[in-house]
Structure 1
Amino acid sequence: MISTGQLTTFFIASIAIIIVPGPSVLFTLARGVAWGRSVAVLTVLGNSIGTLVLSIVVAIGLGPLLAHSKLLATVLQIAGGTYLLWLGIEALRHRHAHAKAMAQRESVRPSNLHVIRQGFTVGVLNPKSLVFFAAVFPHFVDRSKGSVTIQLLIFGGIFSVMAFMSDGTWGFIAGTAREWLSGSTTRLVVLRTIGACVMMTLGTIIVVTAISQ
């Protein structure tokens, strides 16, 4: 149903958006810095479940519409790219405040269920993932390959697995190097700045690509 070429380009695009330190990555880093690897992993688990649920909702909701409207796909790409650009600008503006918040440690360790629930909430409400699902997924859909909804569901599943592996790595690093990361907000500011710049770049590329189609 889905060609190797589709999967390859989707894989590359997914890596580009997943490794960017967005809301889910930064939340995982904060949990890892505060409580170590175990809490970071539980956070990633909840986040990945939330991401998967979000991808399913988007696939079922947009699939039938995208199957009959190429214009809608273009509009979504422009809107999503613009929003991603705005998120990057906001992240850059508030990078110092976010870094200070991440470096703070809570006095009481939350329960495992609470950690998973928090991770799920961040995952299902993650604007970066929502933009990617709604604005970028349609670019990889080939109407000649069968059901648009099924293709979107497959892409969503692949993306969720990749996100789990990437965020899990971030969480492991944060939990292991918690003293080093929390010892200087400058390091967290640099991380936030890089993420903001990448989000702005991706947003610009998405908008330009959609307009030029």
Structure 2
Amino acid sequence: MFEWTSLATFMLAATLLIVVPGPAVLYIVARSIDQGRLAGIVSVLGIALGAVVHSLAAAVGITAVLAASALAFSTVKYLGAAYLIYLGITTLLKKPEPQEKIVVEPKPLWQIFRQGFVVNLLNPKTALFFLAFLPQFADPVRGSVSL
């Protein structure tokens, strides 16, 4: 069983960490502005699936490997940066149309979901959150916590 004070402290600290916008928040905002509420919700679902993968990775110890290996951490960091650069370049290379004819072709929802998933999966800030932040609230004396 958990302690309510630990849960309250965790919730407060997690909220403060989440308030700082990162690539995931920027992706959600961009999709929402570009295609509306449904696209924003789908991007949130993709990012949430990325968080589930990070949770499972932390539970089985993969996140600890990333922390212990500078090469593994750098690889994830640079893959994430490369993916964000790719998204930015593809956006910049779109040919601008005259103001009267601007019609934004909506991206398929599956593509929005997949991009949200990849943005969060390759976000080193998320991996560090699960590695450095969560253990502060785990009490090994109380045993393991069910996922």
Contact 1:10 1:140 in 2 (8 A): yes
Deviations along 1:152-191, one digit per CA (max 9) or x if unpaired, are x4xxxxxxxxxxxxxxxxxxxxxxxxxxxxxxxxxxxxxx
- 1:132 is matched with which residue: 129, 132, 144? 129
Q: Which amino acid aligns with 2:13?
A: A
**Judging changes above 3 Å, is the alpha-carbon distance between structure 1 residues 106 and 10 closer, same or farther for their aligned structure 2 residues?**
farther
CA distance in 2, matches of 1:7, 1:121: 29
Contact 1:23 1:128 in 2 (8 A): no
CA distance in 1, matches of 2:119, 2:62: 22
1:146 equivalent in structure 2 = 143
Contact 1:34 1:106 in 2 (8 A): no
CA distance in 2, matches of 1:44, 1:106: 24
CA distance in 2, matches of 1:2, 1:115: 37
Q: Which amino acid aligns with 1:37?
A: R
Give 1:48 shift.
0.6
Q: Which amino acid aligns with 1:19?
A: V
Give 1:15 shift.
0.3
Deviations along 1:46-81, one digit per CA (max 9) or x if unpaired, are 111111111111122169x8xxxxxxxxxx6xx9xx
Find the residue that maps to 1:110 and give its secondary structure.
coil
**Judging changes above 3 Å, is the alpha-carbon distance between structure 1 residues 17 and 106 closer, same or farther for their aligned structure 2 residues?**
farther
Give 1:3 shift.
1.4
2:75 equivalent in structure 1 = none
CA distance in 1, matches of 2:103, 2:61: 39
TM-score (norm 1): 0.48
Find the residue that maps to 1:44 and give its secondary structure.
helix
2:120 equivalent in structure 1 = 123
**Judging changes above 3 Å, is the alpha-carbon distance between structure 1 residues 49 and 113 closer, same or farther for their aligned structure 2 residues?**
same
- 1:109 is matched with which residue: 106, 109, 112? 106
Which consecutive segments of 4 or more residues in structure 1 shift more than 6 A? none
Percent of aligned pairs with the same residue?
A: 37
RMSD of the alignment, in Å? 3.0
Instruction: Please state if 1:11 is matched with 2:8.
Output: no
CA distance in 2, matches of 1:59, 1:14: 18
Equivalent pairs counted in the alignment come to 117
Unaligned residue ranges in structure 2 (runs of 5+): 71-87, 97-101
Structure with the higher fraction of residues in helix conformation: 1
1:188 equivalent in structure 2 = none
Contact 1:58 1:134 in 2 (8 A): yes
User: Does 1 or 2 have the higher relative contact order (CA < 8 Å, sep 6+)?
Assistant: 1
- Correspondence 1:1-213 to 2 at 5 A: 1-61=1-61, 107-147=104-144, 150=145, 153=147
CA distance in 2, matches of 1:106, 1:138: 48
Find the residue that maps to 2:61 and give its secondary structure.
helix
